[in-house]
Amino acid sequence: MNYQPDSVTSITLSAIPLPLATPISDAKVFTGRQKPMTEVAMLFVEIGTAEGCSGIGFSYSKRAGGPAQYAHAKEIAEAALGEDPNDIEKIYTKLLWAGASVGRSGLATQALAAIDVALYDLKSKRAGLPLAKFLGAHRDSVRTYNTSGGFLHASIDEVKDRATQSIEQGIGGIKIKVGLPDSAEDIKRLDAIAEHVGGTPLMVDANQQWDRTTALRMGRVLDRYNLVWIEEPLDAHDFEGHARLTTALDTPIATGEMLSSVAEHRRLIETRACDIIQPDAPRVGGISQFMRLLALADEAALDVAPHFAMEIHAHLAASYPRETWVEHFDWLDPLFNERMEIADGRMIIPDRSGLGITLSEQARRWTTDTVTID
């Protein structure tokens, strides 16, 4: 059977602010660098083709940048019209050059990411395969940990209650936030949670709020807890500082979520600045770029724990040769008609084709701006 070319005929962009039930605070709030987060700005892309195929993708921004992502995507999306949707790398490059004057990382590629993800969703749907199977899965489930219950705005009792709920729901690990101005308070919270969860795998996340001296001192204290990792102990771009910590500490160092290009991640890998790399597909430009990054990580024998957006990252993590951790956030649940299944500490890869998600009516109601380019 000969292949019949298809073409992109429509691209619908939707700006959807996702309200959070409770304002969220991590260490950046307590050090005065940011305000509590009250919503996540979502950019959704729905692509249609001449042959009647469709795909959905998304990107996001926290606290700032959502309207700018939407505006940039609106400017460049026309470049994909008429292209064969199977030629994802070609389309990515064309879109990249359409917006080249604002660079090849950060907001520019985060806007492009939503289109790239939608193209992968479309292509795997056309093949009748879940995205993980389309990419080539190594497993049908991935280890998962809860991170949305351990924020610093919550009391110790609240964090303990949420940890109990997560474990009972089948979550395999618990992460809590640290990085308070008073490190003794961090240790107090960690002691309480570590005792409460017993042998359940435990991680901590400082959200870049320690300097090198504090990170080393705290790291030496944290070594006694047998943590799965210490996340973002330093500024995300302090590659040398992170590299020193990976050498000095027994506890693995995890970082990478705030980096917004493959080039930045390559430097992280080349300097051996982490034991566990935490890329974010929407932040680095989509699935095309994420898969390039995974190849580099695999060559360097690094573990991987993608950041946020589990609806995308579960599929990508399943395609990595080594066992991974995927972050479980329930924040995005209201946006979709489907739910990720959790059992025995693992997130099950959906058997639906593509990403396996469809936008809910609630998401449609939250939409503040939408445009179809055809």
Q: Which residues are catalytic?
A: 177, 307
Cα dihedral sign for 236, 239, 245, 251?
A: positive
Annotated binding-site residue? 250: no
Neighbours of 128 (CB within 10 A): 10
Annotated binding-site residue? 205: yes
Q: What is the DSSP string of 280-320?
A: -HHHHTSHHHHHHHHHHHHHTT-EE---S-HHHHHHHHHTS
- DSSP, res 36: P
Annotated binding-site residue? 257: yes
Annotated binding-site residue? 341: no
Annotated binding-site residue? 311: no
Annotated binding-site residue? 207: yes
Annotated binding-site residue? 27: yes
Annotated binding-site residue? 39: no
Annotated binding-site residue? 94: no
Neighbours of 19 (CB within 10 A): 10
User: Distance between CA atoms of 259 and 86, rounded to whole angstroms?
Assistant: 28
User: Distance between CA atoms of 25 and 153, rounded to whole angstroms?
Assistant: 5
User: Distance between CA atoms of 215 and 222, rounded to whole angstroms?
Assistant: 10
User: Distance between CA atoms of 279 and 354, rounded to whole angstroms?
Assistant: 21
Annotated binding-site residue? 327: yes
Burial label for 166, CB within 10 Å (0-12, 13-18, 19+), is: buried
Annotated binding-site residue? 267: no
Q: What is the distance, to the nearest Å, from the Cα of residue 119 to the centroid of all Cα atoms in its chain?
A: 18
Cα dihedral sign for 25, 30, 36, 37?
A: negative
Binding site feature residues: 26-28, 62-63, 175, 205, 207, 231, 257, 327
Binding residue numbers for Mg(2+): 205, 231, 257
- For the annotated binding site for substrate, the residues are 26-28, 62-63, 175, 207, 327
